[in-house]
């Protein structure tokens, strides 16, 4: 029960990575609030785990402020923010509409920015932690996903900025860059952007992931857990990358130096 007494806000918490993180935090004693636009998956998770549902658009400042007031009334101040909400932005630049680009910005970047900004007073007071869930697409450009790739790169920069500005005030910020994870979104987008049949991707996964300790498709929650309060207090502005079949590293920035710790 390592998180007993701590309050965590998980955005995009109804499905996929967010739901898996919420389950793990709840199982280890945290007071978990899950935020999302659709009540049905949030309520299903709440029925399963006892999480507190706050239905809100994570990119809407007024809605997030109201959600935080609900959380304060239920649990008190927020100790942990998992900025996980995200979405699509697929398509190559030449055919991407303004609307698609704006949606990619709102779903992937604005959600992290708004929730972090509104949660910072709590996080500073509690000396809490932020985990920004970016993507391997924030490190390497996948095909035909200009909006998503750009915004996930921006999420990494935003996380570094948070660490720089608020680490000195006791707020620890880290960025997680998952590879392919078997979620509703992750199960559709790879095949949609390539000519590889989904059946071949699924069958290839065990071979590609066998040397990766995170096994992101089966364990989407472990990296986030290890970056939260009471885990690795020296780690801030770290970037953890779960990339199948490639070496995984911690990158821990201290001042101007970078230390790398190989995990495999």
Tokens 């020296």 sit on residue? 234
All residues at 6 or more sequence positions from 240 whose CB lies less than 8 Å from its CB, including other chains = 174, 175, 176, 177, 223, 226, 227, 248, 250
Domain-embedded: residue 19:
yes
Q: What is the CA radius of gyration of the chain?
A: 18
DSSP category for residue 140: S
Mean per-residue pLDDT over the chain, rounded: 81
Q: Is residue 183 pLDDT above 80, yes or no?
A: no
- Looking at 3, 52, 148, 166, which residue is catalytic? 148
* Spatial separation of the C-alpha atoms in residues 34 and 51, rounded to whole Å: 7
pLDDT range class, residue 89, cuts 50, 70, 90:
confident
> 81: which 2 tokens?
């923010």
* Spatial separation of the C-alpha atoms in residues 259 and 226, rounded to whole Å: 18
* Spatial separation of the C-alpha atoms in residues 116 and 110, rounded to whole Å: 10
SS3 sequence, 165-223? HHHHHCCEEEEEEECCCCCHHHHHHHHHHCCCCHHHHHHHHHHHHCCCCCCCCCCCCHH
Mean pLDDT in residue range 75-91: 95
Domain-embedded: residue 2:
no
Per-residue confidence (pLDDT) for residue 257, from 0 to 100: 33
pLDDT range class, residue 181, cuts 50, 70, 90:
confident
Domain-embedded: residue 118:
yes
Domain-embedded: residue 210:
yes
Work out how many domains the chain is built from and give that number.
1
User: CA 161 from chain center: how many Å?
Assistant: 16
Q: Is residue 170 pLDDT above 90, yes or no?
A: yes
Per-residue confidence (pLDDT) for residue 199, from 0 to 100: 60
More confident residue, 75 or 183: 75
pLDDT range class, residue 105, cuts 50, 70, 90:
very high
Domain-embedded: residue 257:
yes
Compute how many other C-beta atoms are within 10 angstroms of the C-beta atom of residue 210. Answer: 10
Assign residue 188 the CATH number of its domain. Answer: 3.40.50.720
Our answer to whether residue 205 is catalytic in this structure is: no
Per-residue confidence (pLDDT) for residue 91, from 0 to 100: 94
> 18: which 2 tokens?
């967010």
Positive or negative, the Cα torsion across 191, 195, 199, 201? negative
Helix (H, G, I), strand (E, B) or coil at 86: coil
Domain-embedded: residue 1:
no
Task: Give the domain range for residue 43.
Answer: 7-262
Domain-embedded: residue 70:
yes
More confident residue, 245 or 56: 56
Per-residue confidence (pLDDT) for residue 123, from 0 to 100: 98
Which residue in 113, 130, 123, 122 sits closest to 59, CA to CA?
Answer: 113
Which residue in 25, 56, 27, 26 sits closest to 39, CA to CA?
Answer: 56
Domain-embedded: residue 117:
yes
DSSP category for residue 109: I
Percent of the residues in the chain that have a pLDDT greater than 90, as a whole number? 66
**pTM of this structure:** 0.80
């Amino acid at each position: 029960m390592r998180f007993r007494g701590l309050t965590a806000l998980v955005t995009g918490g109804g499905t996929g990575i967010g739901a898996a993180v919420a389950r793990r935090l709840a199982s280890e004693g945290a007071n978990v609030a899950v935020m999302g636009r659709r009540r049905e998956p949030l309520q299903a998770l709440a029925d399963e785990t006892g999480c507190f549902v706050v239905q809100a658009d994570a990119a809407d400042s007024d809605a997030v402020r109201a959600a935080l007031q609900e959380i304060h009334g239920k649990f008190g101040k927020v100790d942990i923010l998992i900025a996980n909400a995200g979405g699509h932005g697929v398509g190559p630049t030449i055919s991407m509409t303004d609307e698609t680009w704006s949606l990619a910005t709102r779903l992937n970047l604005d959600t992290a920015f708004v929730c972090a900004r509104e949660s910072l007073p709590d996080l500073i007071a509690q000396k809490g932690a932020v985990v920004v869930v970016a993507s391997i697409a924030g490190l390497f450009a996948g095909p035909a996903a200009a909006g998503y790739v750009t915004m996930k790169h921006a999420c990494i920069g935003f996380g570094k900025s948070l660490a720089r500005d608020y680490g000195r005030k006791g707020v620890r910020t880290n960025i997680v860059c998952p590879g392919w994870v078997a979620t509703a979104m992750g199960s559709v987008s790879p095949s949609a952007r390539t000519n590889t049949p989904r059946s071949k991707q699924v069958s290839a996964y065990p071979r590609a992931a066998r040397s990766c300790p995170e096994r992101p498709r089966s364990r989407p929650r472990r990296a986030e857990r290890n970056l939260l309060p009471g885990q690795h207090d020296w780690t801030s502005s770290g970037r953890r990358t779960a990339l199948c079949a490639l070496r995984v590293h911690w990158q821990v920035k201290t001042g101007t130096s970078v230390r790398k710790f190989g995990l495999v």
